[in-house]
Amino acid sequence: MADINVDVLVIGAGPTGLGAAKRLNHLNGPSWLILDSNEKAGGLASTDVTPEGFLYDVGGHVIFSHYKYFDDCLNEALPKKEDWYDHERVSYVRYKGLWVPYPFQNNISILPKEDQVKCIDGLIDAALNSRVATTKPKDFDEWILRICGEGVADVFMRPYNYKVWAVPTTKMQCEWLGERVAAPNLKMVTSNVILNKVAGNWGPNNMFRFPARDGTGGIWIAVANTLPEEKKRFGEKGEVTKVDAKKKVVTLKDGTTIGYGKLVNTMAVNQLAEKIGDQELITLSKGLFYSSTHVIGVGIRGERPERIGDKCWLYFPEDNCPFYRATIFSNYSPYNQPEANIKLPTLYNADGSKAKSSEAQAGPYWSIMLEVSQSELKPVDEENLLKDCIQGLINTEMIKPEDEIVSTYHRKFVQGYPTPTLEREGVLKQLLPKLLDLDIWSRGRFGSWRYEVGNQDHSFMLGVEAVDNIVSGAVELTLNYPDFVNTRQNTERRLAQTSYSQGSAVPSRPKA
Q: Is there a single domain that holds both residue 65 and residue 131?
A: no
DSSP state of 503: S
Whether 208 maps to a domain, the answer reads no
Query: Where residue 379 sits, what CATH number does that domain have?
Result: 3.90.660.20
Q: Is there a single domain that holds both residue 440 and residue 404?
A: no
Q: Is there a single domain that holds both residue 406 and residue 350?
A: yes
Q: Is there a single domain that holds both residue 318 and residue 390?
A: yes
**For the chain, what's the residue count?**
512
Contact residues for 448 (Cβ-Cβ < 8 A; gap 6+): 269, 428, 432, 442, 462, 479
pLDDT at 460: 96
CA 228 to centroid of chain Cα atoms: 28
Whether 42 maps to a domain, the answer reads yes
Q: Is there a single domain that holds both residue 457 and residue 443?
A: yes
Q: Is there a single domain that holds both residue 83 and residue 218?
A: yes
Whether 277 maps to a domain, the answer reads yes
Query: Where residue 222 sits, what CATH number does that domain have?
Result: 3.50.50.60
Sign of CA dihedral 488, 493, 494, 499: positive
> Does residue 305 have a cis bond before it (omega within 30 degrees)?
no
Residue ranges of E strands in 319-430 = 325-327, 348-349, 365-374, 404-418
- The pTM (predicted TM-score) of the whole model is 0.90
Sign of CA dihedral 34, 35, 39, 45: negative
Q: Is there a single domain that holds both residue 271 and residue 303?
A: no
pLDDT at 495: 44
Contact residues for 279 (Cβ-Cβ < 8 A; gap 6+): none
Residue that finishes a domain, picked among 132, 161, 195: 195
Crossing angle between the packed helical segments 68-77 and 215-225, to the nearest 10 degrees: 90
Q: Is there a single domain that holds both residue 352 and residue 257?
A: no
Crossing angle between the packed helical segments 15-27 and 68-77, to the nearest 10 degrees: 90
- pLDDT, tens digit, 9 for 90 and up, residues 137-167: 899 999 999 989 999 999 999 999 999 999 9
Whether 505 maps to a domain, the answer reads no
Whether 203 maps to a domain, the answer reads no
Q: How many domains does the chain have?
A: 3
Q: Is there a single domain that holds both residue 43 and residue 185?
A: no
Q: Is there a single domain that holds both residue 80 and residue 228?
A: yes
- pLDDT, tens digit, 9 for 90 and up, residues 43-79: 999 999 999 999 999 877 777 788 999 999 999 999 9
Q: Is there a single domain that holds both residue 356 and residue 411?
A: yes
pLDDT at 297: 98
> Residue 187: helix, strand or coil by DSSP?
helix
Q: What residue ranges of the chain have pLDDT lower than 70?
A: 178-183, 200-206, 488-512
Contact residues for 177 (Cβ-Cβ < 8 A; gap 6+): 140, 143, 452
Q: Which domain holds residue 243?
A: 4-87+214-289+421-497
Q: Is there a single domain that holds both residue 186 and residue 232?
A: no
Residue that finishes a domain, picked among 384, 418, 452: 418
